[in-house]
């Protein structure tokens, strides 16, 4: 069986991905201990997004920072949990020419429930040895690698370096990530969607219309019944879509208008969009391809529609048609 290190052997990104795999393993071990280590609760703090921080959010962030800075590959890092970019200390930065952006614990509201959570990451080339905020604000099309770790019934690392998408499962006995899901492809068609239906009254007309047509099932214009799933953990939703197709949506709505959406562009939407496109799917903000968006802020939020390409085309059409 091919391991992650043999799969990437000889490539420039191999040592970077090896460090990311190590972060995922260390974090998986923390998550797997569950309530045993007494670190599952919330802190009395909120993160830069104004969301309640869990103890594990902070632990996850520390693991990702420490493991990845020591490899000496990065000039700077940015995380959901830190307001400003992190300049890697000079002793590690000497050869660092990359930037790492990450959400260390996505879906953390699920962590107390023993549900699936994940980490999401994006790698860019650093234009400067000592990168400033502007150096991080590159469009998603500049990503040279992206992926996620999924901490579920097994731990997985799903990765793209721009040549398709491959999934690796952690073998707890050997400690290796093993290639179990080579060349993941998203079917073009689907009859499954994921959206937080509790926000329906707040949606814009194109989203209302798309979902309304799906809900009419066999009797409506789509002529088929749709199924719905909502895990409230983006990593789990995208993983399901990579395995069996589907559509995931987090649109802008009346309650999210001031902040521009729910999901963060740089370390949630962009890496997931790259994975989905590399697997033959599509990812849009409604009218614009997510990977083409020119970021204006590190923690910028965007509407997200991603998954099976024919459904995303239909959602884009709904946005274009008044």
What φ, ψ does residue 82 adopt, rounded to 5°? -130, 130
Residue 244 Cβ vs ligand F6P, minimum distance, rounded to whole Å: 18
Residue 233 Cβ vs ligand F6P, minimum distance, rounded to whole Å: 5
Residue whose CB is less far from ligand F6P, 107 or 206: 107
User: According to CB under 6 A, which residues from 77 to 106 bind ligand F6P?
Assistant: 106
Told to check if 23 binds ligand F6P by CB under 6 A, we report no
| Cα-based distances in Å from 59 to 7, 23, 90, 101, 277 | 29, 11, 23, 17, 31
Residue 263 Cβ vs ligand F6P, minimum distance, rounded to whole Å: 6
Count of residues that bind ligand F6P according to CB under 6 A: 7
Residue 196 Cβ vs ligand F6P, minimum distance, rounded to whole Å: 4
Q: Which of residues 47, 79, 116, 233 is near ligand F6P by CB under 6 A? A: 233
Question: With the CA atoms of 261, 43, 235 and 269 taken in that order, what torsion angle do they form, in degrees rounded to the nearest 10?
Answer: 30
Residues in a beta bridge with 205: none
Please choose, out of 163-171, 179-187, 229-237, 275-283, the segment that lies near ligand F6P by the rule CB under 6 A. 229-237
User: According to CB under 6 A, which residues from 195 to 214 bind ligand F6P?
Assistant: 196
Residue whose CB is less far from ligand F6P, 4 or 146: 146
Nearest Cα residue to 60 out of 125, 123, 148: 148
Q: How far, in whole angstroms, is CA 196 from its chain's centroid? A: 17
Residue whose CB is less far from ligand F6P, 233 or 308: 233
Nearest Cα residue to 54 out of 121, 117, 122: 117
Nearest Cα residue to 253 out of 297, 215, 286: 286
């Amino acid at each position: 069986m091919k391991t992650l290190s043999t799969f990437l052997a000889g490539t420039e990104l191999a040592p970077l991905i090896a460090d990311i795999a190590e972060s995922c393993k260390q974090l998986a071990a923390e998550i797997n201990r569950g309530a045993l280590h007494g670190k599952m609760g919330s802190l009395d703090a909120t993160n830069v997004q104004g969301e309640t921080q869990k103890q594990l959010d902070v632990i996850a962030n520390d693991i990702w920072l420490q493991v990845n800075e020591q490899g000496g590959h990065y000039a700077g890092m940015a995380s959901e949990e830190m307001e400003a970019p992190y300049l890697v200390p000079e002793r590690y930065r000497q050869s660092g020419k990359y930037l790492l952006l990450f959400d260390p614990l996505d879906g953390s509201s699920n962590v107390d429930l023993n549900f699936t959570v994940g980490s999401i990451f994006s790698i860019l080339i650093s234009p400067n040895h000592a990168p400033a905020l502007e150096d991080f604000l590159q469009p998603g099309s500049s990503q040279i690698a992206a992926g996620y770790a999924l901490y579920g019934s097994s731990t997985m690392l799903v990765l793209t370096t721009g040549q398709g998408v491959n999934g690796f499962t952690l073998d707890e006995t050997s400690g290796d990530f093993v290639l179990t899901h080579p060349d993941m492809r998203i079917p073009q068609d689907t009859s499954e969607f994921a959206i937080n239906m509790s926000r329906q009254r707040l949606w814009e007309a194109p989203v209302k219309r798309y979902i309304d047509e799906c809900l009419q099932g066999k009797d409506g214009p789509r002529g088929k019944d749709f199924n719905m799933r909502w895990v409230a953990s983006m990593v789990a939703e995208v993983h399901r879509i990579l395995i069996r197709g589907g559509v995931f949506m987090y649109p802008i709505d009346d309650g999210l208008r001031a902040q521009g959406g729910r999901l963060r562009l740089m370390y949630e939407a962009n890496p997931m969009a790259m994975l989905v496109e590399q697997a033959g799917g599509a990812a849009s903000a409604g009218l614009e391809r997510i990977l083409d968006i020119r970021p204006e802020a590190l923690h910028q939020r965007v509407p997200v529609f991603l998954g099976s390409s024919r459904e995303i085309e239909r959602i884009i059409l709904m946005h274009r048609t008044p």
